[in-house]
Amino acid sequence: MTGDDSDADPVDPAHRPAVVTGGLSIVALLLAVFASVFYSPYVLAGGVVGLMVVGAGLQRGSRRAVTLGAAAVLTGLLAGGIDGVPPVPMLASVTATVLAWDAGHHAIGIGDQLGREATTIRAEFPHVGGTVLVGLVAGAGSYAVFRVGPSGQPAAAVIAMLFGAVLLLATLQR
């Protein structure tokens, strides 16, 4: 099985996603929700759904589920941003969600290639560290766009931050 979402077949236990990166994916998603949940109930709703779907995706080795779960969190964040989540928590949440998405996909890829029993920590941490570094740079750029852009436009700020997240995703796909 290649992990390319042939979800009809059960995942071979030897090729389940890597534990460390899968765990980091869940932790990043929890941090993403926690950073903004106190400002909007939409973040909580998207976060609960997203955590359940990403968790199921990591259990089954489904990249599609990891992507859908991250999209659920981003949808909750978008609604929360329109609802009034401040820029800094929103930016932290979006960046952590993208990190969770990337780590989840990486965990599935490592599991497919090397299996769960292989010692992969030396391959997992540099990838996640690189993602964090790219996320910080994209986040700083998004915040700069927010600060320089027109004030009094909360919807425009959310769109600018989500555009930064899309740029981050495009960078990670290369």
Domain ranges across the chain = 13-173
Lowest mean pLDDT among 93-97, 146-150, 163-167: 163-167
Which amino acid, residue 63? R
Determine contact, residues 130/152, Cβ cutoff 8 Å. Answer: no
Residue 6's pLDDT is what? 43
The C-alpha R_g of the chain, in whole angstroms, comes to 16
Does residue 167 or residue 28 have the better pLDDT? 28
Does the pLDDT of residue 23 top 80, yes or no? yes
**CA 98, CA 104: separation in Å to the nearest integer?**
10
CA–CA dist 106, 17 (Å, integer): 8
Give 57's Cβ-side CA count (13 Å radius). 32
φ/ψ of 4, rounded to 5, equals: -85, 30
Q: Note the pLDDT of residue 131.
A: 79
